[in-house]
Structure 1
Amino acid sequence: MLKTVALIVVPNFSIFEFGTACEVFGIDRSGRGGTVPAFDFRICTPQPGNVPLKSGLSMNVSLGLEATADADLVIMAPYGRDDDVPESVLEALRAADARGAWVMSICSGAFALARAGLLDGRRCTTHWHYSGELSASYPAAQVDENVLYVQDGNIITSAGTAAGIDACLHLVRVELGANVAASIARDMVVPPHRDGGQAQYIDRPMPKCGSAPMEALLRMMVSELDKEHSVNDLAARLHMSPRTFARKFRAETGATPAAWLNSQRVLRAQELLETSDLNIEEVARQSGFGHPVLLRHHFAKVLDTSPQSYRRAFRGQLAEAV
Structure 2
Amino acid sequence: MSNQNKPKHVAILAYDQLCTFEFGLSVEIFATPRPQINNWYSCKTVGVEPGPLRAAGGLVVQCDTQVEELARADLIIIPGWPIDKQPSADLKQQILCANQRGAQFMAICSGVFLLENIGLLDGKTITTHWRYIDELKARAPCAAVKDNVLYCIDDQILSSAGSAAGIDLALHLIRTDFGTSATNLVAQRLVLPAHREGGQAQFVPRPVSPPKRGALNQLLDEVRTKLDEHWSVTSLANKASMSERTLIRKFQNTVGQSPAQWIVNERIYLARELLENAHCSIDQIALRTGFKTPETLRHHFRKKLKVSPSDYRKQFGATHSIQ
TM-score by structure 2 length? 0.63
CA contact (8 A) 1:181 1:192 kept: yes
Q: Return closer, same or farther for 1:278/1:118 CA change in 2, 3 Å cut-off.
A: same
Q: Are residues 1:299 and 2:301 paired?
A: no
Query: What secondary structure is seen at the aligned counterpart in 2 of 1:151?
Result: strand
The residue aligned with 1:214 is none
Distance 1:10 1:136 in 2: 25
CA contact (8 A) 2:127 2:149 kept: yes
Question: Aligned residues: percent identity?
Answer: 34
Q: Are residues 1:5 and 2:7 paired?
A: no
2:51 counterpart (32, 49, 52): 49
Greater relative contact order (CA < 8 Å, ≥ 6 in sequence): 2
Distance 1:66 1:38 in 2: 22
1:21 counterpart (22, 26, 31): 26
CA contact (8 A) 1:110 1:157 kept: yes
- 1:57 CA drift (Å): 2.2
Q: Return closer, same or farther for 1:101/1:279 CA change in 2, 3 Å cut-off.
A: closer
1:205-249 per-position Cα deviation (integer Å, ceiling 9, x unaligned): xxxxxxxxxxxxxxxxxxxxxxxxxxxxxxxxxxxxxxxxxxxxx
Aligned length: 226
Unaligned runs of 5+ in 1: 203-269, 282-290, 307-322
Structure with max Cα Rg: 1
Unaligned runs of 5+ in 2: 216-241, 258-323
- 1:80 CA drift (Å): 2.2
What are the residue-to-residue correspondences of 1:88-107 with 2, within 5 Å?
A: 88-107=90-109
2:179 counterpart (177, 180, 200): 177
The residue aligned with 2:197 is 195
What are the residue-to-residue correspondences of 1:138-177 with 2, within 5 Å?
A: 138-177=140-179
Distance 2:122 2:211 in 1: 46
- 1:174 CA drift (Å): 1.0
Distance 1:298 1:87 in 2: 49
The residue aligned with 2:137 is 135
RMSD (CA atoms): 2.5
